[in-house]
Amino acid sequence: MLYKSVTESFNEFIIDRNDATCIRCKVCVRQCAYEVHAYEATADALTEDNTLCIGCRRCSALCPTGAITIRSNEEVFKRNESWSNAHIRNLYAQADTGGILLAAMGNPAKYPIYWDHMLLDASQVTNPSIDPLREPMELRTYLGKKPHSIEVVRDEQTGKPKLATKLTPQIKMEYPFIFSAMSYGALNLNAHKAMAMAAKELGTLYNTGEGGLHRDLYQYGSNVMVQVASGRFGVSEAYLNAGVAIEIKVGQGAKPGIGGHLPGEKVNDQISETRMIPAGADAISPAPHHDIYSIEDLRQLIFALKEATNYTKPVSVKIAAVHHVAAIASGVARAGADIITIDGFRGGTGAAPQVIRDNVGIPMELALAAVDARLRDEGIRNQVSIVVGGGVRSSGDAIKAIALGADAINMGTSTLLALGCTLCQRCYTGKCPWGITTNTPYLAKRLNPELGAERLVNLVHAWGHEMKEILGGMGLNALESLRGNRYKLRALGLTEKDMNILGVMPAGE
Amino acid sequence: MTKIDAQGLYYRDLNQKIREAVAAGTTEIVLDNVNGQYFIGDGINRPVTIAINGVPGNDLAAFMNGATIVVNDNAQDNIGNTMNAGKVIVHGHAGDVLGYGMRGGRVHIRKDVGYRVGIHMKSYESNKPVLIAGGKAGDFFGEYMAGGVLILLDMFSDEPEKPKHGFRFGTGMHGGTIFVRGGVDETKLSREVGVFELTDEDRLELEGYLKEYCNDFGIDYTEVAKEEFVKVLPRSRRPYGNLYCPMPR
């Protein structure tokens, strides 16, 4: 039996320090949020406690002489295809504590990734491709309910045609990307500033998440989607009217059926002010909205929000991708939502039980295809825009999502990566060494909002360029022409059933 | 004063008329023949008074910020959903999920209330919501309560044979205070809460709330004060703090 904790006995990482190149500058000591490194003055030596290392690579990245290498601990348990090292270590930790294993970020488990089994089309000979560098190419996206039909009349005064149909509110975005809902509290203000500034620069949206909108960010209102979750943190009439859209958070891909819980330690003065709760108080947001037990109840909340904002904002309903997602989405559309946001099982989180994160939900690719097909079959696809998130890693994944029927893509993990995240999956400790998911001022200042915004803008510009190249190659000059156009996708190495659900033909056919 | 006849009006049209009246600067609105219309007073952010004759529908005073609503009859579910400030007075009984996420203002119900009343109520700085029910309450009273004050009187009920309150009383409660006249049924309390005696400060605070309540309904305060109150508080501000273990490093 172990008399030390699993971490002390079977640590995951080893720190290699090259003593010859180490200049004793102690950057590693100052930078490590987990106090792994220490300086022994008497010996003029730097030492490390490997058992504390979480593998974030902050020290190795900032070591001026490259003296530090983080590697995984090669010492392993006897090989066992059933009981992996991770299973054994997790079990030990639970035997130590009796606790629910807490994890963060998206599902890292080895499940099929459908993006990697779909290929895009391109034009050859019979239909010309388009060069996006020299010809107009449009990625502009409008989110909101579209009418079943439109009526155009001649304007008596100008003699020009004019739209007679009254449209419900639409959000115009220059790119089909939204900086996904990650609450203020889970992320700090610097991260939120970066997202807000980038959204403004790009002409797209930033979603507040469920922690309210900091007063300094109200100025970005025309690029903000405000979120309302079961805990109602920071939700007021002013907040609802601050952005251009409202999202009701029902579910999250990383933890379907599980709510949010921001520990009191993370609720500092500013977060307390924005969430409108006392500093140090737990912010509990359970999975059920206890005023929503049915589609009719959901309709009631949707219209309570529309009434509060005088029908000027589209309302999105965010759900996790789960087994009956198509039927649920149909209900959501019929409940009066303008946008349905579907979060796949690879979507990230600041904290979730590991067993939920790794075992609950379905891939976004399948959920998206099923929802788009179902809404088309029912003749109500125009009533909602579909936003998807959870596992889009590149412009290639994004454009495949568009072809499967998405109107826009939520960028969550990719946003954090652009801000410097190294996916160490310890967001819930509040000690993010990269200054993103921490509210400790010493750590949070590591994230410069201006530089962060620039990196986010760069990323979306890059993905936008790539998407234009792909579109041009297919002979299309607007993203709108690709939406739900599954003919432009072919499957490789998928079963017949998978292909049926995806609505995609096999490569070669 | 603006009078609106709600007879046969769809809620959207009724609320549009109310918004127009508020925008035009009316300070007093009377709604006659209200019959289940949803969202009355939703998002109103001016200090107007809306008197309702008839039974208003769900989400009365949702997201409301500073208005006063007086219902001269019974009311339904979700009153004061995420309300920031203002007041709702209901002269009859009311339904489920009252004061959801309410952060300020007052909700005074003369008679019984339903399930999950006071759920997620929060207080913040000078904002301290108070919800008073004069009759009995259903299950999950004060669920997830994080702040503010809930008061249960058990004095004016349409169903006197029913128990004072339901089970899972205060479940998930981690802030705020519940005052109950004449004690609680401790077998129905959740694990997260405990029963305490009132301090002198509590008594003073409670008296202020109750006098305002009595004033709204023309009730004699001495009648209310005849019986002792108990105070229900959460045992911990972190009820779920020890539930988790970090992934091993």
- Strands A37-40 and A45-48, bridge-based pairing: antiparallel
- Structure-block tokens of residue A382: 């125009």
Distance CA A66, CA A60 (A): 7
CB burial of A420-437 (b: ≥16 within 10 Å; e: otherwise) equals: bbbbbbbbbbbbbbbbbb
CB burial of A286-313 (b: ≥16 within 10 Å; e: otherwise) equals: bbebbbbeebebbbbbbbbbbbbbeeeb
Pairwise CB contact (< 8 Å): A52 & B249: yes
CB proximity under 8 Å: B 197-226 to A: none
Instruction: Answer whether A2 touches B (CB < 8 Å).
Output: no
3-class secondary structure, A210: helix
Name the residue among A392, A385, A380 with its Cα closest to residue A407.
A385
Instruction: Answer whether B42 touches A (CB < 8 Å).
Output: yes
Is A187 a residue whose pLDDT tops 80? yes
Distance CA A21, CA A17 (A): 9
Distance CA A356, CA A263 (A): 19
Distance CA B149, CA A489 (A): 58
B1 residue type, one letter: M
CA distance B97 to chain A (A): 7
Q: Is the CA virtual torsion A491, A492, A496, A502 positive or negative?
A: negative
CA distance B83 to chain A (A): 7
Distance CA A15, CA A36 (A): 9
Distance CA A241, CA B153 (A): 37
Residues sharing a CB contact under 8 Å with residue A185, sequence separation 6 or more, in sequence order: A211, A233, A262, A266, A267, A271, A274, A275, A283, A439
A-B contacts (CB, under 8 Å): 151
Containing H/E element for B204? helix B200-217
3-class secondary structure, A400: helix
What ipTM did this prediction achieve? Answer: 0.94
Containing H/E element for A141? strand A141-143
- For the ranges A85-89, A257-261, A346-350, the lowest mean pLDDT is seen at A257-261
CB proximity under 8 Å: B 54-93 to A: 58-59, 62-65, 77-78, 81-82, 84
pLDDT in tens, A414-463: 999 999 999 999 999 999 999 999 999 999 999 999 999 999 999 999 99
Question: Scanning the structure block, which residue is given the tokens 């459908």?
Answer: A114
- Name the superfamily (CATH) of residues B92-237: Glutamate synthase, alpha subunit, C-terminal domain (2.160.20.60)
Report how far Cα A503 is from the mean position of its chain's Cα atoms.
25
Q: Give the HSE-up count for residue A316: Cα atoms under 13 Å, Cβ half-sphere.
A: 37
**Contact, A449 vs A194, CB < 8 A?**
yes
> For a pLDDT cut of 70, what percent of chain B falls above it?
100
pLDDT in tens, A243-254: 999 999 999 999
Which of A280, A308, A354 lies nearest to residue B63, judging by beta carbons? A308
pLDDT in tens, A364-421: 999 999 999 999 999 999 999 999 999 999 999 999 999 999 999 999 999 999 999 9
| Mean of per-residue pLDDT scores for chain A | 95
Containing H/E element for A468? helix A449-473
Is B238 a residue whose pLDDT tops 90? no
User: Does A22 count as an annotated binding residue?
Assistant: yes
pLDDT in tens, A204-250: 999 999 999 999 999 999 999 999 999 999 999 999 999 999 999 99
pLDDT in tens, B159-195: 999 999 999 999 999 999 999 999 999 999 999 999 9
Residue with the bigger pLDDT between A1 and A55: it is A55
pLDDT band at A487 (very low <50, low <70, confident <90, very high): very high
Is A325 a residue whose pLDDT tops 90? yes
Pairwise CB contact (< 8 Å): A303 & B39: yes
B146 forms beta bridges with B175
CB burial of B72-98 (b: ≥16 within 10 Å; e: otherwise) equals: eebbbbbbbbbbbbbbbbbbbbbbbbb
CA distance A283 to chain B (A): 8
B149 forms beta bridges with B130, B177
CB proximity under 8 Å: B 164-183 to A: 172, 174-175
Going edge to edge, which strands form the sheet with B49-55? Answer: B2-5, B28-35, B49-55, B65-71, B85-90, B106-109, B130-133, B146-152, B175-181, B229-234, B193-196
CA distance B48 to chain A (A): 16
pLDDT at A264: 81
pLDDT band at A265 (very low <50, low <70, confident <90, very high): confident
- Structure-block tokens of residue A294: 């049915």
Q: Which of the given ranges, A122-131, A396-405, B116-125, has the highest pLDDT on average?
A: A396-405
DSSP B29-82: EEEEEEES-S-TTTT--S--EEEEEEE--SSTTTT-EEEEEEESS---S-TTTT
Mutate to test the interface with B, among A276, A356, A424 (most CBs of B within 10 A): A276
pLDDT at A7: 78
pLDDT band at A127 (very low <50, low <70, confident <90, very high): confident
Pairwise CB contact (< 8 Å): A7 & B248: yes
Instruction: Answer whether A238 touches B (CB < 8 Å).
Output: yes
Pairwise CB contact (< 8 Å): B240 & A282: yes
User: Does A432 count as an annotated binding residue?
Assistant: no
Distance CA B45, CA B35 (A): 24
Distance CA B120, CA B142 (A): 8
> For a pLDDT cut of 70, what percent of chain A falls above it?
100
Is A2 a residue whose pLDDT tops 80? no
* Phi-psi label, residue B43: left if phi above 0, alpha if psi -120 to 50, beta otherwise: left
Question: Scanning the structure block, which residue is given the tokens 């004050």?
Answer: B149
- Structure-block tokens of residue A395: 């412009």
3-class secondary structure, B164: coil
User: Does A28 count as an annotated binding residue?
Assistant: yes
Does pTM top 0.80 for this prediction? Answer: yes
Instruction: Answer whether B238 touches A (CB < 8 Å).
Output: yes
Instruction: Answer whether B23 touches A (CB < 8 Å).
Output: no
**Contact, B206 vs B198, CB < 8 A?**
yes
**Contact, A342 vs A365, CB < 8 A?**
no
Name all contacts of B188-193 with Cβ < 8 Å and 24+ positions apart: B188/B163, B189/B232, B191/B235, B192/B234, B192/B235, B192/B236, B192/B239, B193/B142, B193/B169, B193/B232, B193/B233, B193/B234, B193/B235
Query: Residue B173 to residues A37, A281, B142, B154, B239: CA-CA distances in angstroms?
Result: 41, 12, 7, 21, 8
CB proximity under 8 Å: A 373-432 to B: 425-426, 428-429
pLDDT at B201: 97
Residues sharing a CB contact under 8 Å with residue B20, sequence separation 6 or more, in sequence order: none
Q: Which residues on A lie below 8 Å from B10 (Cβ)?
A: none
Name the residue among A212, A304, A246, A236 with its Cα closest to residue B84.
A236
Distance CA A312, CA A170 (A): 9
pLDDT in tens, B81-108: 999 999 999 999 999 999 999 999 999 9
The residue extents of the domains of chain B are: 92-237
CB proximity under 8 Å: A 63-102 to B: 89-90, 92-94, 96-102
Name the residue among B185, B188, B189, B184 with its Cα closest to residue B234.
B189
Which of B82, B97, B247 lies nearest to residue A232, judging by beta carbons? B82
Is A1 a residue whose pLDDT tops 70? no
* Phi-psi label, residue B222: left if phi above 0, alpha if psi -120 to 50, beta otherwise: alpha
Which of A51, A277, A309 lies nearest to residue B43, judging by beta carbons? A309
- For the ranges A255-264, A492-501, B136-145, the lowest mean pLDDT is seen at A255-264
Name the residue among A312, A145, A302, A184 with its Cα closest to residue A245.
A312
Is A5 a residue whose pLDDT tops 90? no
Pairwise CB contact (< 8 Å): B244 & A102: yes
Q: Which residues on B lie below 8 Å from A310 (Cβ)?
A: 19, 43
Give me the phi and psi of B128, to 5 degrees please: -140, 105
- Calculate helix-pair angle for A449-473, A189-202, nearest 10 degrees: 40
pLDDT in tens, A277-305: 888 888 888 888 888 999 999 999 999 99
Q: Which residue of A has its CA nearest to B175?
A: A281
Pairwise CB contact (< 8 Å): B174 & A89: no
- Structure-block tokens of residue A107: 């599902």
3-class secondary structure, B124: strand
